[in-house]
Structure 1
Amino acid sequence: MSIENDTESVNEEEDEDEDVAEVANPGPPRWKTVHNPSCNPYPEWQGVSRSDEILSPLQYFQQFFSEDILESIVQQSNLYAMQNNPNKPLNLTTKELEQFLGTVVYMSLFGLPRTRMFWNKACRVSQVADTMTLNRWEAIKKYLHFSNNEDRQEEGNDPLHKIRPLVTHLISKLKSIPMREKLAVDEQMVPFKGRSRLKQYLPSKPKKWGYKILVLAGSDGVPHNFEIYTGRAVHPPELADIGASGNVVPSLAQPIPKQEN
């Protein structure tokens, strides 16, 4: 056999080995864009761009907890305290409620396992302890209310009747935020392991136990609408019924502006 034939046979064997290796370890798929001249181009988005101005934490808080919802919480909390014991009124004010909410947010970020530890001499946190006394803080926490218990009709009519005014207010504030072009609907977990018939278990989530919330959010992570899952969903009659899971999408997508592509 000649040297040229030996070289050709070796090259053929190498080519065969490469083909086998490619089949065994296929690379990433190569996508090809097929140009269709009859296809119309994607329409340009006509929405209003949201301002990227960075506000202070207090300004962001005041956008959602406006004066009207704070006054409503103060009224309902004082009413609930009087319903429990007329001889010991709570006398909560709007300013004091703001201080209470501020300490609650700070506690959640600080991370002590017990709330009373913020007033303990061994691990006292001045940002909380100097704002409000422990007895006053626990009294506000005990009587904090968002709706009048006597106004609800029959028990079980609305599983979220105690926080319904707050949920409605927050949804209205989220809907007022200008939306981005790309939106998505997904579920989100609020971690909770206490006793509640609304608690869900989702093994695929990082936080498996908690309250499940269905959220409409933009590509930047800002939510625009949400619905707390209570085990049952009231489907609006004006929307088409496409199944229990599918009905979530058109229901949450109702605030999306029309005629903006």
Structure 2
Amino acid sequence: MDHTVCGILALAGPIDYFSLFLTSDIIQILVDETNLYATQVIQTANDITPFCLHGWTPTDAKEMEQFVGLLGWMGIVKVAELPNYWSKSKLSSFDLPKKVVARNRFELLLRFWHFADNNSSIPGDRTHKIKNVFQKFVENFKKAYTPGTRICIDETMVPFRGRLSFRQYIPSKRHRYGIKLYKLCTDKGYTWHVKVYVGRDLTGDPTQVTSRNVTLNLIQDLLADVECST
């Protein structure tokens, strides 16, 4: 990160830091793919398709930003069931969701939310649905900060109990079921690079599952930056 950017961010608010990672090009991908998937579903709808799906109207960047922001807020303020966020009960009433989006519209956005075109998937590519957006996030991680000499490479688990071909079960972890990630982090905890473990090693070769190859894959771009600066 250059000194000009650092100077600007010294006076920035949380949304400015958040925008370093969730950039406008990522938002546009979410908009385009969500609208595309909604069109695909509605075009193949039959007589028993819920009527509410036919009330869909294309989303845009502003609405998508609000939707993603609301999802983040819901990750902090948790309730038993989704409709409870729009409850009119005085005991469990929230103002924010009602101000941002109507419940029916939120459920439609959640129903059609997509990151990639299903029809363009490559056989055997287990991360197709998230790969494009995921890679852009990683690129933004690298642009925003350059680690010093103190780094750490380790694995972590994202809790997940749904149906997924590369879901892992690791009894020693606090969350035993989930998606395993390989991460390169700084000594302060900043994630600079991350890879999803999909059942094979990072090269796709099951004979090369070693700590050495994982490490070299994660650190490759960092080493390239060092070589360019010397």
Q: Does residue 106 of structure 2 align to residue 137 of structure 1?
A: yes
2:35 aligned partner: 78
1:105-136 Cα shifts (integer Å, max 9, x gaps): 11110121222110112212111122111100
Count of matched residue pairs: 210
User: Does the Cα contact within 8 Å between 2:202 and 2:214 map onto a contact in 1?
Assistant: no
Aligned pairs for 1:48-63 (under 5 A) are: 51=6, 53=10, 55-63=12-20
Provide the rounded CA distance (Å) in 2 between the counterparts of 1:243 and 1:100. 39
Q: Comparing 177-186 with 97-106, which one deviates more in the overlay?
A: 177-186
Q: Which amino acid in the other structure matches residue 192 of structure 2?
A: H
1:92 aligned partner: 59
2:211 to 222, 228, 245: 245
User: Does the Cα contact within 8 Å between 2:151 and 2:186 map onto a contact in 1?
Assistant: yes
2:85 to 110, 113, 118: 118
1:194-234 Cα shifts (integer Å, max 9, x gaps): 22222212222222221111000000100110001110124
2:22 aligned partner: 65
1:209 aligned partner: 177
Q: Which amino acid in the other structure matches residue 101 of structure 2?
A: M
1:77-120 Cα shifts (integer Å, max 9, x gaps): 11111111146543101000011011101111012122211011
Q: Comparing 128-137 with 145-154, which one deviates more in the overlay?
A: 145-154
Q: Post-superposition shift, 1:56? A: 2.0
Structure 2 unaligned runs (5+)? 44-53
1:192 to 160, 164, 180: 160
Q: What secondary structure sits across from 2:221 in the alignment?
A: coil
User: Does the Cα contact within 8 Å between 1:236 and 1:251 map onto a contact in 2?
Assistant: no
Among all aligned residue pairs of Structure 1 and Structure 2, give the percentage whose two residues are the same amino acid: 27
Q: What secondary structure sits across from 1:258 in the alignment?
A: helix
Please identify which structure carries the higher helix content.
2
Provide the rounded CA distance (Å) in 2 between the counterparts of 1:170 and 1:78. 21
User: Does the Cα contact within 8 Å between 1:90 and 1:140 map onto a contact in 2?
Assistant: no
Provide the rounded CA distance (Å) in 2 between the counterparts of 1:215 and 1:98. 27
Q: What secondary structure sits across from 1:98 in the alignment?
A: helix
1:173 to 137, 140, 161: 140
Provide the rounded CA distance (Å) in 2 between the counterparts of 1:152 and 1:242. 25
Q: Which amino acid in the other structure matches residue 22 of structure 2?
A: F
Provide the rounded CA distance (Å) in 2 between the counterparts of 1:80 and 1:127. 28
Q: What secondary structure sits across from 1:64 in the alignment?
A: coil
Q: Does residue 64 of structure 2 align to residue 104 of structure 1?
A: no
User: Does the Cα contact within 8 Å between 2:202 and 2:217 map onto a contact in 1?
Assistant: no
- CA-based RMSD of the aligned residues comes to 2.6
Provide the rounded CA distance (Å) in 2 between the counterparts of 1:62 and 1:191. 25
Q: Which amino acid in the other structure matches residue 214 of structure 2?
A: V
Q: Comparing 80-89 with 51-60, which one deviates more in the overlay?
A: 51-60
User: Does the Cα contact within 8 Å between 1:213 and 1:229 map onto a contact in 2?
Assistant: yes
User: Does the Cα contact within 8 Å between 1:188 and 1:215 map onto a contact in 2?
Assistant: yes
Q: Which amino acid in the other structure matches residue 170 of structure 2?
A: L
Provide the rounded CA distance (Å) in 2 between the counterparts of 1:161 and 1:142. 19
Question: TM (normalized to structure 1)?
Answer: 0.73
Q: Comparing 111-120 with 54-63, which one deviates more in the overlay?
A: 54-63
Q: Which amino acid in the other structure matches residue 26 of structure 2?
A: I
Bigger radius of gyration: 1
Provide the rounded CA distance (Å) in 2 between the counterparts of 1:140 and 1:215. 31
